[in-house]
Amino acid sequence: MELTDKLEILADAAKYDASCASSGAPKRHSIGKDGFGATTGMGICHSYTPDGRCVSLLKVLLTNYCLYDCQYCVNRRTSNVPRARFTVAEVVKLTTDFYLRNYIDGLFLSSGIIQSADYTMEQLVQVARELREVHQFRGYIHLKTIPDADPALIAAAGRYADRLSVNIELPTQDSVQKLAPEKSVHTIKLAMGSIRRKLDEKAEEPKSPRFAPAGQSTQMIVGADASDDQQILTTAETLYGSYKLKRVYYSAFSPIPQSPKSVPLAPPPMLREHRLYQADFLLRSYGFQVNELLPATGNLALDIDPKLAWALEHREHFPMDLNRAEPHMIARIPGIGLRNAQRLIDLRRLRQIRYADLSRLRCSMKKISPFIITADYFPSNDAGPSEHLRRAMADAPQQMNLWPELQAA
């Protein structure tokens, strides 16, 4: 098979993995050194799709042959798709050729499992090793880790890769057992734990060998099982706390041709994935906890963002006086992000905050007005009832149902 044919199959097979964003890579370049390639301060990916996916890595599978039969996966053993396999040398060549033509900033490499977990992991490590040691490649490398692989291989992967990831796949153990019976949540968490230990060792001993400087991440598939957003975010919160993940990525389940009956025929609304990313950002950066965003079982609202939904449920905090509020509460006001919250805190050390300051900071005045008090402003009607505000601020048109006949089936 021609290399371009393999590339067509194996790049298409990799598109379902969302966990390729590369933020967090260290600054590195080849100026004054051997080799070629560079990352920038923000990581190498400058372009993100609206749902947060990075678009500038060569994102391929080493192979889409697989011994496993995960029901949600297009590459599962029983799937009737064209198969291909790259050699190590072919992936190395593609990466260097594409990089030198300025098509890509780095490599995201995953694989179906062939022969054994160790054999597959060895092949992935071999690609990264050749790029780094033979070609002096200094661009970004993200390797997907095979959970059952020998920890020594995972440690070797960390020496060459910027980021490692182990997919948790689904939010609950029951779902993994049902839809990916050859996988085990226990093994997946063991792999995450071994990466975390290596990261901790490196942090304690900066002179110890390099290990995945952009940390580890994972991916959860949304909508392949019956888990609701509360379960998904609770799992994410636990993973952040236990394994110091840089990111949890959420990937809306895509129905695949000849899907098994155990998975849905229709995808979840794309907006659900987007709301999960917004909620995840609130967990990581704003100090929210899952039980604040979702105190009961269920899904996040689709028509308004999770911070606005929280504010409407907690009117006792609003309107909030920007000149007196606790600093951490200012960032909880809908329409005020972290950067503007800090700017307002800095400003009020100098003088009273006035309404015009907020438009100068380009805050969304429609969103912010019902929730704030400034030196010269108080919301006229005490912001009105929550339902009224919710209707006025709903920003998400209902997603059109593209598969009505499937949902009706």
Is 9 or 308 the residue whose CB approaches ligand SF4 more closely?
9
Nearest of 123, 118, 144, 183 to residue 13 by alpha carbon: 144
The whole-angstrom separation of Cα 115 and Cα 263 is: 27
Closest approach, Cβ 221 to ligand SF4, in A, equals: 9
Asked if 107 and 140 touch (Cβ cutoff 8 Å), the reply is yes
| Choice between 70 and 91, CB closer to ligand SF4 | 70
| Cα torsion through 5, 111, 57, 169, rounded to 10 | 130
CB of 349 to ligand SF4, least distance (A): 52
Smaller CB distance to ligand SF4: residue 76 or 163? 76
Check residue 76 for interaction with ligand SF4 (CB under 6 A): yes
Among 219, 146, 217, 241, smallest CA distance to 188 is for 146
Q: Which is nearer to ligand SF4, 114 or 329 (CB)?
A: 114
How many positions of this chain bind ligand SF4 (CB under 6 A)? Answer: 9
Positions in 356-395 near ligand SF4 (CB under 6 A) = none
User: In angstroms, what is the minimal distance from the CB of 13 to ligand SF4?
Assistant: 8
Locate 32 and state its tokens. Answer: 């004054």
Give buried/exposed letters for 25-62 (b at 16+ CB in 10 A, else e).
Answer: beebeeeeeeeebebeeebbbeeeeebbbbebbbbbbb
Report how far residue 304's alpha carbon sits from residue 396's, in angstroms, rounded to the nearest whole number: 7
Q: Longest Cα pair distance anywhere in the chain, in angstroms?
A: 72
Give the HSE-up count for residue 8: Cα atoms under 13 Å, Cβ half-sphere: 7
Place of tokens 């969304």: 364
Close Cβ partners of 253 (under 8 Å, ≥ 6 residues apart): 72, 221, 222, 223, 224, 263, 264, 267, 268
Choices 49-57, 65-73, 156-164, 206-214 (CB under 6 A): range interacting with ligand SF4: 65-73
CA pair distance 407, 401, nearest whole angstrom? 9
31-39, 66-74, 149-157, 324-332 -> range binding ligand SF4 (CB under 6 A): 66-74
Which one of 69-77, 88-96, 337-345, 396-404 is the stretch in contact with ligand SF4 (CB under 6 A)? 69-77
Q: How far is 398 from 378, CA to CA, in rounded Å?
A: 33
Instruction: Please identify, using beta-carbon distances, which residue of 68 and 240 lies nearer to ligand SF4.
Output: 68
Q: Which part of the chain contacts ligand SF4 (CB under 6 A), choosing from 25-33, 51-59, 73-81, 315-323? A: 73-81
Chain residues 102-121 in contact with ligand SF4, contact rule CB under 6 A: 112-113
Question: Nearest approach, Cβ of 180 to ligand SF4 (angstroms)?
Answer: 6
Task: Provide the minimum distance between the beta carbon of 73 and ligand SF4 in the complex, in angstroms, as a whole number.
Answer: 3
Q: How far is the CB of 66 from ligand SF4 (least distance, A)?
A: 3
Cβ distance to ligand SF4 smaller for residue 96 or 175: 175
Stretch that binds ligand SF4, among 63-71, 210-218, 254-262, 336-344 (CB under 6 A): 63-71
Per-residue binding string, ligand SF4, 139-178, x by CB under 6 A, is ----------------------------------------
CB-CB neighbours of 254 under 10 Å: 15
Which candidate, 170, 302, 182, 178, places its Cα nearest to that of 248?
170
**Closest to ligand SF4 by CB, 162 or 169:** 169
With CB under 6 A as the contact rule, the residue among 36, 68, 286, 377 that binds ligand SF4 is 68
Contacts of 220 (CB under 8 A, 6+ apart): 167, 168, 169, 170, 171, 232, 235, 236, 248, 249, 250, 251
Site for ligand SF4 in 174-233 (CB under 6 A): 180
Binding residues for ligand SF4, per CB under 6 A?
A: 66, 68, 70, 73, 75-76, 112-113, 180
